[in-house]
A and B are shown apart, each in its own frame.
Chain A
């Protein structure tokens, strides 16, 4: 029943960042805002091999500040693997010996895809705040161009956590005939007031930094301090009271008594500062503004009906997963999603995984998560093959 390729080695994968450019003027891509954008480049990486009937494609959608480097190494001297190395790779739950995995960087980001830090062909300078507002739907629309370019018409499974989960859901509502199965993790159908509030504080931290310069800071140092604070706020929402208590408690950093100044006494302060400083080195402040806004705008319950109540969705199989200590997108929001899908008559499974790590839990190694994702994909893989054989 299995391919011989299922049994290949578990050696680390070598991957390469690739680029796909489309929507060249005058065929710019229309955006939800009414603006048009082009040309658009998406950075993407693929792992594994697309089979002959193109039925083993698994699309992974990254979260807010992620990138296309989902797993594997760029070269022998690459010190760090991709961001979901524990989930994706040979012999991993998303087994690249069996599935063809595609992960692209979202529109509006700064990790190789077109975003506010890209050069505006009209001016020869970075877009800055001239970059049009993009939505989750625009990101998905751009991804659809890439998937079409790769010649894939049916996606065996799409999975993503957080803002990646929003993209999964948007794919399902906008291109239901293409999505055979979907795994939205630690996500929501719409941001709560609390989630919008945290995003707004993060944006204000950036925009209040004098070096932000109204978004046109690419000749200067940029809002390094504001961006670091924005990331610190984000990090707090990704953790939980319990995980911070266990990880840091009130422990002091490199000292045995209080300093009686503001240099930073506690381990948690030091951790947040480190995370903030690290983020500034790799991420663009404007991109964070655009992406947080896109996630705030995302709303599948908009107007008088839910975008999820659609009979075209009934053929898609869902595995919805939440985490008990996630207070950014708490379990009740996943349950609301499941409730809509049930009303639709969808084949939907739901599991709340007991984890103390807050929202971040979806990215951390977890045996329960590994085994249910691996088994769900295995089931879909066999069902698709049986259907094809019929």
Chain B
């Protein structure tokens, strides 16, 4: 349509006016944008710069290498072994199923594992590596490494994992490590962030647990740049952590191995201690278990097998087991009476085989009685009536006080799990525990280590060492940390009269070295190493009068778990005591037959620093002993093979 000039002018005028209005609006918008830009990038710059850095930089912890554990001679007890594993990353693999199928041809992957892998792959972001196989053999590992070009997304990795080369020998003392559980985290008020690293291992029981802070070390860290999905782009900075500190135990791994083998299949415990320093030379509980199973994550089947075993392999019987000490307690009663001046070594009592008290009759183990008994004879022949008599005069409170001085009924602080305090009862204890008055009958029972009295093999060893030295020896398990020896304070004297102690030790010598002594057959022939000790047999059930009338059934005829515990405490050499030993054989029968021979072998092994020579044994036993020792030698571990000695 043709327009007039006027219309054209009018049109242009209108458009110009409107476009100027629009231009104004645009300028205003530009101003708004500019101001906003300034606000974001100038005024809020610092805040956003920080956020950008937070986006970009991640801290990753570098797990520290766990401290090693050695025995007193530098034999490795707990080490870190290289753990070969293979991971797969979904994102890099492309066709994951095909890659996994190819991998299955190289290394064994069970259907179960495959299910877990698939589940993990689905559950995690595509860039997260998933463990396909753990603890591969070197052969399998290198197969994967060599085929890496055909396996996109598959990475062979090397990590560190705890390893216990001595297997069951230290399962109870050293314990084991395992993956950090929720409970581990809850127990700690401020858990070290390193515990949150997946695959990180923490001490679960034993030294591994109680020395965790020493062994763990501190984590290093690296600052890494990550992209939006958290994938690592590069490492910016790295601070190495400090590895955990190495521990040296007081235990001699060879002795430990010898004793563990000597205990064999018995449900038993044996503690050997240096009487002068308190260093624990051996601390064996049998049967043991393979701690490596727990590190790997024990299977349900293995675990229930351990739980259902009536010999309780998981229990550390040396510190955890609390047994009625039986006759091994007699030294305590005697010392209490001697200290009170109520008896002298020459005091005698007549033993008719029982003691009548009120309407109750307390029997001596020997039905016919021991006749006239003095202190030495009461120990060597283990007369019970003698102790019934003197205990009534001394009273339980004095006996308990003496027990405590000798280390019973108190907790010895060692880095081991489930350490039992035992029970050293007195009047107040019974009132508090049972709400009942203490009765003389309780004292009579306690005088021979029955009734309420309970003690662990460790406590009995401490008791023996204190009797042998007259000093308040304190047990020790850690010899050095990172090569720095732990301080070794000299034990305080117990303040007991020398005569009294001498009389007790004399009695213990006679137990072993007189014809009538209960452990004569377990004597040491070598005079310079003469053995002193005390046997004990503790009932795990009450013998009723009716039973007694029928004739007491011999142990052999009882079911295993109803038989008596066999106990033995001793030290050697008699003249110049060096080592104390305790052996407890659960349901082993008599202490002289079941426990004393083990104690002799153990202490001879320590004294000789090797398998004891036959000359140490009485001549008439050598034939049998030779066979036994040879059989034992077969079972010993060659520690020169496994020990990466670092001493």
> Is the A/B pair a real complex?
no
A interface residue numbers (CB < 8 A to B): none
